[in-house]
Each structure stands twice: as C-alpha cells, then as structure tokens.
Amino acid sequence: GDSVTQMEGPVTLSEEAFLTINCTYTATGYPSLFWYVQYPGEGLQLLLKATKADDKGSNKGFEATYRKETTSFHLEKGSVQVSDSAVYFCALSVLGSGGGADGLTFGKGTHLIIQP
C-alpha cells in the first residue's frame, strides 16, 4: 500500500539555521504531495503542495520539490524562526488508490523546535 516516511524528531535548531525535513514515499500510482503544519493545540494547515514530478511548492519561505526519481519531497527553509516551531506532516494522495475521496496518507509527523 501507499506510505510516507519522515524523520520523527524532535528536530532542534537555533534561530536562522537552515532546515531540512526529509520525506520519502511509496505509491503505486502518481501521487500529489503535500506538507502540512500543526501548531500546538490546533488542526493541520496546508503549507504547500506539488502535483507532478519536478514541481516545486513554496509558501512562507518553505520549499519542497517533487523528486520522482528518488520518491522524495523534502521540506526546506533557509532561515528558521522561533514561530516555525510546530509539527510538520508530509502526505500523499493517489488517484484511484486510496487517495482523493479516500483521504490523504500521512507520515507520522516531525516535531520541530526552534530555539532563540
């Protein structure tokens, strides 16, 4: 079946450091890929997405590139802030294979802590 693997953390960085959160996936079809962010006590918010190979999603200084050859969708940010502290989820949706109306398949989430 489809699956998403990501580092669970916690990942602790200093403010202004460079961030990479790795995400790899297994899917039988051609997935769309997503990153969500969850702040403490809140629901998940869509951070960015990519729907085909080599697409780059970006938002709020975060970027991720859909790499079909390595089945990866790593999240990056050049300079993190304390306000970026949250849990980040990688997810995929595959047409006719558990995605779409069946919901997204999520990784277990990566807890990011940014220290001032």
Partner 1 sequence: SQTIHQWPATLVQPVGSPLSLECTVEGTSNPNLYWYRQAAGRGLQLLFYSVGIGQISSEVPQNLSASRPQDRQFILSSKKLLLSDSGFYLCAWSPRTGTGSPLHFGNGTRLTVT
**Closest separation between CB of residue 63 and partner 1, Å?**
17
Nearest to partner 1 of 104, 112 (CB atom): 104
Nearest to partner 1 of 16, 30 (CB atom): 30
Burial of 20 (0-12, 13-18, 19+ CB in 10 A): exposed
Distance (Å, whole) CA 113 – CA 116: 10
Contacting residues toward partner 1, per CB under 8 A: 31-32, 34, 36, 41-46, 49, 51, 89, 93-96, 99-104, 106-109
Distance (Å, whole) CA 55 – CA 92: 14
**Closest separation between CB of residue 35 and partner 1, Å?**
10
